[in-house]
Structure 1
Amino acid sequence: MEIRPARPEEAALLTGIALRAKAYWGYDEAFMAACRAELVVDAGVIERSATTVAEDGGRVLGFVSLSGAPPTGSLDLLFVEPESIGRGIGRALFEQARSLAAALGLRRLTIDSDPNAEPFYLAMGATRIGSVPSGSIPGRELPQLVLHLATP
């Protein structure tokens, strides 16, 4: 598996991964339609943020996207193709994001997590600090986590 920077022309591919990975948790069509806009990755997102993909045999299996400026950033998106979940791809992408964030001078990453993904982030060292309203589902609260990064 290779981890490399995403390319702007991969935007539709990454959007497809995000939508399939979100649907993996059993959300219905109405839920998926309501949150679709938040999951769309366009070329501008890739160009403005630090977006990295995991590729195996020429196939992109997942991606992660960071944004922000020192000292605080956010882990905006982290999705893995459903059939590849459990193979360590999410962990590899998270570790890449952690290293890249530290190299960019970030000392802290916030993560507004899907409730189903919260255990993964906690296992990766993040701590829950509260909750935030969903940007697409009125009345829904999302776990908010923070990851403190080591100072070089």
Structure 2
Amino acid sequence: MRTVPIGGAWRIRRAEPAEAGELEALQLRSSTHWEYPPGYFDWVGDALAIPESYVRGNPVHVLEEDGGIRGFYGLTEKDGGLVLDKLFVDADAIGEGYGRLLWQHAVRTARASGHEELIIGSDPNAAPFYAAMGAVEYATKPTPEPTWTLHMFRYPLTG
């Protein structure tokens, strides 16, 4: 795996609300990397929706390369804690170092928020990535889909 994307100029910037549809489409494409069949995530309802209000109301950042969005992340607050709600890399760019860059930026953004830890609810296929980034798995949670389990991680932001 490359540690820094190559091939063009890249930057991480705040997402614009008008990009919400593009981010939702990227998120859907990303899931094809893991070969989930069409309609597999229908059981989650609106959980995969990315409305403009989500982008406007939360720290959502995109990694842009040569003017195109290669990945993004979003942080949300839930029950007083900070959650890495989304971190997606376009399907054709997974394994190229974009996820690591987004993770590092998300951690810096989370630290600046003043929270003590970052909570991550991970797809089972992405769990090894979060473990490699230093997050500690503390639980798994069943879902309405018996073949898919949410992996819960914590990442300390202090110390």
Instruction: Normalising by structure 2, report the TM-score.
Output: 0.87
1:107 positional shift: 1.1
Which residue number corresponds to residue 118 of structure 1?
Answer: 127
> In the TM superposition, what whole-angstrom CA distance separates every residue of 1:27-77 from its partner, at most 9, and x where no partner exists?
112313334632221111111211000000110010000012797300000
Contact 1:70 1:105 in 2 (8 A): no
Root-mean-square deviation (CA), in Å?
A: 1.8
For structure 2, the 5+ residue unaligned runs are 1-9
Instruction: Determine if the alignment matches structure 1 residue 85 to structure 2 residue 90.
Output: no
Which residue number corresponds to residue 141 of structure 1?
Answer: 149
- Which deviates the most, 15-24 or 111-120? 15-24
How many residue pairs match? The answer is: 149
Secondary structure at the aligned position of 1:116 is classed as: coil
For structure 1, the 5+ residue unaligned runs are none
Which residue number corresponds to residue 60 of structure 1?
Answer: 69
Using a 3 Å threshold, how does the CA distance of structure 1 residues 141 and 86 change in structure 2: closer, same or farther? closer
Secondary structure at the aligned position of 1:86 is classed as: coil
- Identity across the alignment (%): 34
1:150 positional shift: 2.3
Instruction: Normalising by structure 1, report the TM-score.
Output: 0.90
Q: 1:22 aligns with which of 31, 38, 62?
A: 31
Which residue number corresponds to residue 108 of structure 2?
Answer: 99
Contact 2:76 2:82 in 1 (8 A): yes
Contact 1:18 1:79 in 2 (8 A): yes
